[in-house]
């Protein structure tokens, strides 16, 4: 007979919370990197990267305070650097998409541009 709880307990005991947090942040990085390699990103992903960066900063601060291994501390700082790079790259990709498709969206804020001809036409038709 298999006891699922014992397997879960083993898994939780095998990995510490910082390990899980670091792995989660790396997973977000890898996922977004793959989209960026395909020249795709959207404002939701961009905002998720900013949230991931906030979490990474907190993770790094905890690593600096509590981690014994310098490798863990350096890894936490590296995650922030990777996210910073991806934030820049994600903004560039979104701006390129806006340009290529002539979207009625303002670069860098990703809000509707009310001065764009497409937005004006939508407004006349009563759409937001």
Give the start-to-end residue ranges of the domains of the chain.
Answer: 4-124
What pLDDT digit, counting tens, does each position of 38-65 carry? 999 999 999 999 999 999 998 888 888 8
The answer to whether 16 and 66 are in contact (CB under 8 A) is no
pLDDT greater at residue 33 or residue 66: 33
The answer to whether 89 and 36 are in contact (CB under 8 A) is yes
Residue 24 pLDDT more than 80? yes
Tell me the pLDDT band of 35, cut-offs 50, 70 and 90. very high
Buried b (16+ CB within 10 A) or exposed e, 74-96: ebbeebbebbeebbebbbebbbe
**Span of 2-6, 23-27, 91-95 with lowest mean pLDDT:** 2-6
């Amino acid at each position: 007979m298999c006891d699922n709880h014992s397997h879960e307990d083993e898994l939780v005991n095998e990995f510490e919370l910082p390990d899980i947090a670091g792995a989660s942040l790396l997973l977000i990085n890898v996922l977004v990197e793959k989209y960026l390699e395909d020249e795709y990103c959207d404002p939701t992903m961009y905002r998720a990267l900013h949230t991931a960066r906030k979490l990474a900063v907190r993770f790094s601060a905890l690593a600096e305070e509590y981690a014994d291994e310098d490798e863990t501390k350096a890894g936490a700082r590296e995650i922030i650097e990777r996210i910073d790079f991806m934030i820049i790259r994600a903004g560039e990709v979104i701006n390129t998409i806006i340009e290529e498709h002539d979207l009625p969206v303002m670069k860098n804020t990703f809000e509707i541009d009310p001065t764009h001809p497409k937005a004006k036409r939508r407004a006349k038709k009563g759409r937001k």
